Amino acid sequence: MNIRRLAEEVDRNYDYFQRHMSEFLPAEYGRYALLRAEQVVGFFESADAAEERGERFGDGIYSIQLVDPAPINLGAFSNG
């Protein structure tokens, strides 16, 4: 896995996530968003469930964010 590419992906996804938070609330509040290429792949009940789905990409390039208006960056979850 390319650490620099992962860091850039996490930064871009976090920016996208913050700009679109109002679209996710209140329906997805408290769930975890799996993001890839500045898009939400899906919402999950736990970070583990989101990570399990993210591992299917094979390259480890994705990020997970808690849907909560308080700014919390969970960083990158990857299998690498």
In a domain, 34, yes or no: yes
**Parent domain of 32:** 3-66
Give yes or no for residue 79 having a pLDDT over 80. no
Q: What span, in angstroms and rounded, lies between the C-alpha atoms of 72 and 80?
A: 22
For 13-45, what is each residue's pLDDT tens digit?
999 999 999 999 999 999 999 999 999 999 999
Which residues, 6+ apart, have CB-to-CB distance to 76 below 8 Å?
A: 6, 7, 9, 10, 62, 63, 64
pLDDT more than 90, % of the chain: 76
pLDDT at position 76, please?
Answer: 55
Average pLDDT of the chain is 89
Where does the pLDDT of residue 3 fall: very low under 50, low under 70, confident under 90, or very high at 90 and above? confident
For residue 49, being part of any structural domain is answered with yes
Whether residue 72 is contained in a domain is answered as: no
Residue 73 inside a domain? The answer is: no
Domain annotation covers residue 53: yes
Give the count of domains, the chain: 1
